[in-house]
A and B are shown apart, each in its own frame.
Chain A
Amino acid sequence: MNPGPGAAGGRLAALCGEDDRWRLAGVVGLGVAVAVVLASVWLPEWLVDAAETHGGVQSLDALVTVGVLIVVLAEAVGLLYGLWNGGPLLAASFPLAPELAGRLATGGWGLDADLTLALCAGAAAAALGLYGAGRRRPEARRSGPLDGLTVATSLIVTGLAALIAVGDAAGPHVAGAVRLSWLLWSGAAVIVLAGWVGYVRVGSGDRVVAVDLPDPPP
């Protein structure tokens, strides 16, 4: 679970979560979520003409309801996954992957409040993933894994760019979502900043850290 340094596969696994079973569950869950979102985009387009004669429109509408719900819930699931099992990259993928998959499938490629919210929720999920990793792996507690910190930091930068860009363009009807995005972004920024500070202090052999270390056996 915490493979030796240099193992690229191990580092990727660590970016996706600490506990093997939870990580597997996360990957499978995310795959299913993306598949359902894609199905909710494509199935109504393919089947609706046939469905009209068979009265199956209501089932297609139900599928769309599930698709929309997944896109919404994935934002929260990412935060919970990061908190529980670490894995900043996989945690950030929960808000981002269903949203991006749906956009690619429909060709709707504009920067709006939805994408901004997904980016900021992704940054927050990655930041909580740093905390989750430290919770499960005490030796990384002070600063979280450096790979994860890199992922979270890059999302913070992109999230800020999206927030600034969407500020004037978004309509008043999405103001609540933009406020929520700022809130998630701020929380993520605080955690990530603390992570860097922790690394700098550990890396430079700060006294505060040194007194926490056990004496070596004689």
Chain B
Amino acid sequence: MRLTDPRHNMGGPGGEASTGTGPRFSRRTLLSRAALAVGLGGVGSLTLPETVDSSVPARADSRGVDPDAESVSEAETPYAVWQYESEDGEMRPTAPINVVFPLESATFAAVTATCRRSGLTDRPLEYVRYARDRNTGRYRRQQWTAAESFGGVAGRFHVRCWELAGTASVQAHVDTAPLPTHGTASYALARRALERIFDAAGWTVSDDRLHLGNDSGPDHDGYATVIRR
């Protein structure tokens, strides 16, 4: 029993029959709508931004976490050793510095520019964290940060950088998906990712890592990679 003959219904915006028998559209209407949908989707596909090749490897080396390791005193090294979180007015170490730049023949701006050129996004959604400046004895907020994505819903590679005492200190980590908040999936994978980024950009990644003794779970072995230009 057909109340509306679809062949007489030319469709278009007013093509929907309101006789209570359900919507009916002519073949031509359906075809043009399908073409419109695919066209819109095609335009959407063309406006998609470019992909950025992730530098995060599947595996990275780590000497293992020594839970009894004693970290180097922050007064004895030009680099930061820990990243701190401000908690009720107290500074609490939350993550180890795992990549450092002596900046003998490079600048902090060159470090951040290299990160940016690798496709990282600066200004990601992130917490405020600090590092200790031994020259002033004060804690300084992250000076430059970058991540693979704005929110990191899928998980992300994330770096925080400080310029302290003429050197650069970087805390690099891979975040887990935020369920409900970001956790640390790996420090070693992020350290390796940063090594790959700077190696590809022509910097020298030292074979000998610097012992900072800031071992931290899940996989940081207390050594920071030293990168020079």
A9: chain B residues at CB < 8 Å are: none
Contacts A143-B23, A149-B33, A199-B30 given; indicate if A114 touches B56 (C-beta within 8 A): no
- Do residues B1 and A215 form an inter-chain contact, with CB atoms below 8 A? yes
Encoded as 1 (CB less than 8 Å from any A CB) or 0, chain B from 40 to 54 comes to 111011001111111
Please measure, in the bound complex, the distance between the C-alpha atom of A170 and the C-alpha atom of B15, giving whole angstroms. Answer: 44
Measured CB to CB, the closest approach of chain A to B39, in angstroms, equals 8
- Do residues A112 and B14 form an inter-chain contact, with CB atoms below 8 A? no
Counting CB contacts under 8 A, is B209 at the interface? no
- Do residues A171 and B3 form an inter-chain contact, with CB atoms below 8 A? no
- Do residues A67 and B125 form an inter-chain contact, with CB atoms below 8 A? yes
Measured CB to CB, the closest approach of chain A to B87, in angstroms, equals 7
- Do residues A216 and B50 form an inter-chain contact, with CB atoms below 8 A? no
Secondary structure of the B contact surface, majority rule: loop
Counting CB contacts under 8 A, is B27 at the interface? yes
Q: Which of B63-71, B146-154, B216-224 contacts A (4 or more CB under 8 A)?
A: B146-154
- Do residues A171 and B1 form an inter-chain contact, with CB atoms below 8 A? no
On chain A, the number of residues with a Cβ less than 8 Å from chain B's Cβ atoms is 85
Measured CB to CB, the closest approach of chain A to B44, in angstroms, equals 3
- Do residues B3 and A112 form an inter-chain contact, with CB atoms below 8 A? no
- Do residues B18 and A5 form an inter-chain contact, with CB atoms below 8 A? yes
Counting CB contacts under 8 A, is A48 at the interface? yes
User: Considering residues B34, B48, B180, which has the most beta carbons from chain A within 10 angstroms of its beta carbon?
Assistant: B48
- Do residues B13 and A5 form an inter-chain contact, with CB atoms below 8 A? yes
* Contact for A157 among B38, B128, B151, CB less than 8 A: B38
Counting CB contacts under 8 A, is A21 at the interface? no
- Do residues B128 and A60 form an inter-chain contact, with CB atoms below 8 A? yes
Counting CB contacts under 8 A, is A72 at the interface? yes
Counting CB contacts under 8 A, is B2 at the interface? yes
Q: Which residue of B lies closest to A162 (CB)?
A: B48
* Contact for B181 among A4, A65, A171, CB less than 8 A: A65
Counting CB contacts under 8 A, is B189 at the interface? yes
Counting CB contacts under 8 A, is B24 at the interface? yes
Q: List 18 A-B contacts (CB under 8 A).
A: A5-B15, A5-B16, A6-B14, A45-B123, A64-B125, A67-B125, A68-B151, A110-B119, A112-B149, A139-B23, A153-B41, A171-B148, A172-B57, A173-B155, A173-B156, A178-B154, A203-B25, A215-B1
